[in-house]
């Protein structure tokens, strides 16, 4: 029974009609309301709201001297009919388009990144440098699971780097089969673990796809069915991860899924200062000069770059910070939040 739709259309049509001069337009709205109820009569026969609406319309038409014959407002456009595959032709596997259709505005987005030591930029624009040796979840929600495995950047060092990334795109029956992507040092493939490059044979399979940006070094995974884009890079002896996720997707988790570095940052006992003490493998002044060539603004990306080069002795870490900044430039919904100063 779709009487509630009839009710809401009537309210919307009469909301702006006030006072004694509402006459013809009000009668048109009532006739449209009456027509709508007649169309639902067969399925609404036992519904109390339906019978209440029918009697209410009759009373209002008498009170306002409305003729039962006359013009009606054109019906509001209905959603496109389902296609043979069983989902709307507006395509529920296109998140941004579906969201705009449902809400009348584009969705909001959030950005998270993990690079270098690893340094974590959370969805809430907090910035931490983490020890986190071993495997830790970056994301764990209804749609995605992302795990980063870290190992020491050098023998005897407290600093760690991401050496392996596992990304699971969870089964979404209308759109994709479950897909697993895995990258390790010197192995950043442009395919999922099963060798495919998209979401599989389902009607919305193309809504998940991998694009190779730089062979063996940089891939981009677009999951348009959840409004999400992921970048995976290798620079030197570390992997980095960046994501632009729809707000609704980023928030789709329960209290049990509370440990997510992209959401809460790294735990307090795993945070380390970006001011390394003692002798580094590269003098700090040298590291600053190298990082300044790639990162002219002395923000947290610059500070992270200096820390990583001093700690590891690997000048390729300038590329890791530069890549993370470039991803942020592309993925951040608010360009004014690009640089964080601490």
318, two tokens: 């300038």
Confidence at residue 42, expressed as pLDDT on a 0 to 100 scale: 82
Helix (H, G, I), strand (E, B) or coil at 310: helix
If asked whether residues 125 and 56 sit together in one domain, one would say no
Return d(Cα 228, Cα 38) in angstroms, integer.
44
Phi-psi region of 283 (alpha: psi -120 to 50; beta: other; left: phi over 0): beta
pLDDT (0 to 100) of residue 83: 42
Q: What is the DSSP letter of 260?
A: -
Instruction: Examine the fold and report which residue of 234, 268, 302 is the final residue of a domain before the chain moves on.
Output: 268
Boundaries of domain holding 232: 109-268
CA dist list (Å): 118 to 47, 121, 186, 276 = 60, 10, 18, 14
CB neighbourhood size of 335 (10 A):
9
Q: Is residue 320 part of a domain?
A: no
Q: Is 179 found in the same domain as 126?
A: yes
123 and 253 share a domain? yes
Residues 41 and 119 in one domain: no
| 298 is a domain residue | no
Q: Give whole-number Cα distances, 326 to 102, 109, 156, 318, 339, in Å.
A: 32, 17, 31, 12, 11
Tell me whether residue 307 is exposed, middle or buried, using C-beta atoms within 10 angstroms of its C-beta: 0 to 12, 13 to 18, 19 or more: buried
Query: Taking the model in full, what pTM does it have?
Result: 0.73
Q: pLDDT tens track of the chain, all 342 residues?
A: 778 888 878 877 877 776 666 778 888 888 999 999 888 888 887 778 888 888 888 888 888 888 888 888 765 544 444 444 443 445 789 999 999 988 889 999 999 999 998 999 999 999 999 887 889 999 999 999 999 999 887 666 666 889 999 999 999 988 999 999 999 999 999 999 999 999 998 889 999 999 999 999 999 999 999 999 999 999 988 999 999 999 999 999 988 888 999 999 999 988 888 775 555 788 999 999 999 999 999 999 999 999 999 988 889 899 999 999 999 999 998 989 999 998
Q: Is 284 a domain residue?
A: no
Q: Residue 81 has what DSSP assignment? A: P
Given 246, 268, 290, which residue is the final one in a domain? 268
Same-domain status, 10 and 150: no
Distance CA(180)–CA(261), nearest Å, equals 20
The answer to whether residues 168 and 231 belong to one domain is yes
Is 313 part of a structural domain of the chain?
Answer: no
Whether residues 45 and 174 fall in one domain: no
Determine, yes or no, domain membership for 286.
Answer: no
In a domain, 309, yes or no: no
The total number of structural domains in the chain stands at: 2
Kindly state whether residues 143 and 236 are assigned to the same domain: yes
Task: Residue 177: give its domain's CATH number.
Answer: 3.40.1000.10
> What is the structure's pLDDT at 229?
98
Residues 242 and 131 sit within 8 Å (Cβ to Cβ): no
pLDDT at 14: 77
Please tell me the distance from the alpha carbon of residue 291 to that of residue 296, in angstroms, as a whole number: 8
Q: Which among 220, 253, 268 is the end of a domain? A: 268
- Asked if residue 35 is part of any domain, the answer here is yes
Q: Which tokens sit at 116?
A: 């270098």
**pLDDT at 19 (0 to 100):** 61
Residue 139 shares a structural domain with residue 258? yes
Q: Are residues 130 and 264 in the same domain?
A: yes
The answer to whether residues 24 and 133 belong to one domain is no
In a domain, 122, yes or no: yes
Q: Do the beta carbons of residue 318 and residue 290 sit within 8 Å?
A: yes
| Same domain assignment for residues 59 and 161 | no
Specify the pLDDT at position 86.
40
Helix (H) or strand (E) holding 261: helix 261-264
């Amino acid at each position: 029974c779709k009487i509630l739709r009839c009710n809401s259309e009537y309210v919307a049509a009469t909301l702006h009609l006030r006072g004694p001069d509402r006459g013809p337009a009000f009668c048109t709205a009532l006739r449209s309301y009456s027509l709508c109820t007649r169309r639902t009569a067969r399925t609404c026969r036992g519904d109390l709201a339906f019978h209440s609406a029918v009697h209410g319309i009759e009373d209002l038409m008498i009170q306002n001297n409305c003729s039962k014959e006359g013009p009606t407002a054109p019906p509001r456009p209905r959603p496109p009919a389902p296609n043979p595959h069983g989902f709307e032709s507006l395509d529920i596997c296109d998140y941004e388009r579906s969201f705009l259709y449902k809400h009348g505005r584009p969705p909001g987005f959030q950005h998270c990144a993990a690079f270098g030591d690893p340094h974590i930029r959370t969805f809430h624009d907090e910035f931490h440098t983490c020890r986190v040796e071993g495997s830790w979840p970056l994301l764990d929600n209804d749609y995605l699971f992302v795990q980063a495995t870290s190992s020491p950047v050098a023998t005897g060092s407290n600093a760690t780097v991401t050496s392996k990334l596992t990304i699971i795109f969870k089964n979404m029956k209308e759109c994709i089969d479950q897909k697993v992507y895995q990258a390790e040092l010197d192995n950043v493939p442009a395919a999922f673990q099963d060798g495919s490059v998209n979401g599989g044979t389902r009607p919305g399979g193309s809504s998940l796809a991998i694009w190779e940006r730089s062979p063996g070094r940089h891939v981009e995974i677009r999951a348009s069915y959840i409004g999400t884009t992921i970048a995976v890079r290798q620079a030197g002896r570390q992997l980095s991860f960046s994501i632009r996720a729809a707000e609704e997707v980023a928030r789709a988790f329960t209290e049990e899924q509370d440990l997510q570095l992209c959401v809460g940052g790294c735990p307090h006992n795993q945070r380390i200062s970006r001011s390394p003490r003692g002798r580094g493998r590269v003098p700090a002044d040298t590291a600053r000069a190298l990082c300044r060539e790639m990162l002219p603004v002395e923000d947290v990306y610059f500070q992270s770059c200096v820390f990583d080069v001093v700690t590891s002795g690997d000048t390729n870490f300038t590329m890791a910070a530069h890549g993370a900044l470039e991803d942020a430039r592309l993925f951040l919904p608010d360009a004014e939040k690009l640089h964080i100063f601490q």
